Chains A and B, each alone.
Chain A
């Protein structure tokens, strides 16, 4: 799975690989942080607050079409796809990392250190859209800015285990699989706590994206394991608002230009191109 092609008219090109956050090189991590910092500094629709607000507040809460519904995985795949493009507009070549909470049972170091390389770490917290805060308070959900976490607090559900993932990967029906995977997803949101712990504010926390990349990765693994199973036909033409995509268009991550790898390293070849990042 090293190349992808959108159509027969397009040549196969090297895919980008989303990497395990704990295995990124210092250069890869620095590039990702730079992209996040740049996006956080933009107040229009290219910026972090706009992207985070798509999921929850400010109204409308667009992910409401996805949670608890069979388009949970396609909707979030589209969401990550467009967010990753927005990051790449700021820093060429970056991809979203994934947090493997089955093996890294804490907030990953890259996200838990307050400062990085002598600057505030953009993965530690993010400012929250003031309109979102105002609307949340109106509904009784009083969150502040910047984002906070309360990982593994008393009463939090456990992080999913390797066995939990093996069990969901063994499910042969898509609707069964997505339902059970969404439950594990819910557990991680609530385990992280704070802004991540409820729908209106979750995507403002920078770790949201690494969590959802892991969920998307598990779906990718399930697709590879069950190549003849898939999303029910009746769902394929469903739109995924506000994204101009249908469920069908999310099914193959390679046509979206990415795949998952633990690590990635490369070097220039004999031509003028550079190695893959």
Chain B
């Protein structure tokens, strides 16, 4: 399972930036169709891997956990998320596998990083021997780093 390392982004906690009361890392379009796993998040620690401790000193900022759908148990097309504009008269709930949004509160961890730029590293972790292998399971559209005054 590959580790994700972001392009550098502006660090809102850098010296000279305004104080903030809360910082969120928000991941949009997160796929949850596969197996369950934890995604550990590290700040300015591009070499982080499974052995990197969950310590602030190692850049650990938090995690999100996918409680996975674990594959498609239906027939062909059952798990295909519809694309295109929704019919305004269609009151059915969204498709089961519509990608999710995950928000991780990283306020304390971000305050420890004063570099002008920031990279986000995400290490997906397979939990235990009984769970399925992770093969490119971490998929998301984009992330945003949001701070609040």
Partner of A139, one of B37, B66, B72, B130: B72
Please measure, in the bound complex, the distance between the C-alpha atom of A189 and the C-alpha atom of B128, giving whole angstroms.
Answer: 12
Please measure, in the bound complex, the distance between the C-alpha atom of A117 and the C-alpha atom of B131, giving whole angstroms.
Answer: 32
The answer to whether residues A198 and B65 also contact, given A59-B73, A190-B36, A190-B127 and a CB cut-off of 8 A, is: no
In the bound complex, residues from chain A placing their C-beta under 8 Å from that of B126 are 155
B72 touches A186 (CB 8 A): no
Category for how many chain A residues contact B: 35 or more
| A88 close to chain B: CB less than 8 A | no
The answer to whether residues A141 and B100 also contact, given A156-B128, A190-B38 and a CB cut-off of 8 A, is: no
Q: Shortest Cβ distance from B53 into chain A, in angstroms?
A: 13
| B118 close to chain A: CB less than 8 A | no
A68 touches B63 (CB 8 A): no
Partner of B68, one of A150, A155, A157, A199: A199
In the bound complex, residues from chain A placing their C-beta under 8 Å from that of B112 are none
Partner of B65, one of A57, A140, A183, A200: A183
In the bound complex, residues from chain B placing their C-beta under 8 Å from that of A197 are 36, 127-128, 130-131
In the bound complex, residues from chain A placing their C-beta under 8 Å from that of B72 are 139-140
In the bound complex, residues from chain A placing their C-beta under 8 Å from that of B130 are 148, 150, 153, 193-194, 197
In the bound complex, residues from chain A placing their C-beta under 8 Å from that of B36 are 186, 189-190, 197-198
In the bound complex, residues from chain B placing their C-beta under 8 Å from that of A61 are 69, 73, 96
A153 touches B129 (CB 8 A): yes
Within 8 A of B (CB), among A123-151: 135-136, 138-141, 148, 150
| A226 close to chain B: CB less than 8 A | no
The answer to whether residues A139 and B67 also contact, given A68-B100, A198-B35 and a CB cut-off of 8 A, is: no
In the complex, per-residue mask of A186-225: 1 if CB is within 8 Å of any chain B CB, else 0: 1101110110011110100000000000000000000000
B73 touches A193 (CB 8 A): no
Category for how many chain B residues contact A: 35 or more
Please measure, in the bound complex, the distance between the C-alpha atom of A187 and the C-alpha atom of B64, giving whole angstroms.
Answer: 8
Partner of A180, one of B69, B101, B105, B132: B105
B93 touches A153 (CB 8 A): no
In the bound complex, residues from chain A placing their C-beta under 8 Å from that of B94 are 69
B69 touches A199 (CB 8 A): yes
A138 touches B73 (CB 8 A): yes
Within 8 A of B (CB), among A52-73: 57, 59, 61, 64-65, 67-69
| A27 close to chain B: CB less than 8 A | no
A186 touches B73 (CB 8 A): no
Q: Which 9 A-B pairs have the closest CB atoms?
A: A153-B128, A64-B96, A139-B71, A68-B100, A139-B73, A140-B71, A186-B65, A141-B70, A198-B70
Q: List 23 A-B contacts (CB under 8 A).
A: A64-B96, A67-B67, A68-B100, A136-B71, A139-B73, A139-B74, A140-B71, A140-B132, A150-B130, A150-B131, A153-B129, A154-B128, A155-B127, A180-B103, A186-B66, A193-B130, A194-B128, A197-B128, A197-B130, A197-B131, A198-B70, A199-B69, A199-B70
Interfacial residues, chain B to chain A (CB-CB below 8 A): 32, 35-38, 50, 63-74, 93-94, 96-97, 100-105, 125-132
Interfacial residues, chain A to chain B (CB-CB below 8 A): 57, 59, 61, 64-65, 67-69, 135-136, 138-141, 148, 150, 153-157, 167, 176, 179-180, 183, 185-187, 189-191, 193-194, 197-200, 202, 241
Given contacts A140-B71, A185-B67, 4 further A-B contacts (CB under 8 A): A65-B96, A139-B70, A157-B125, A197-B130
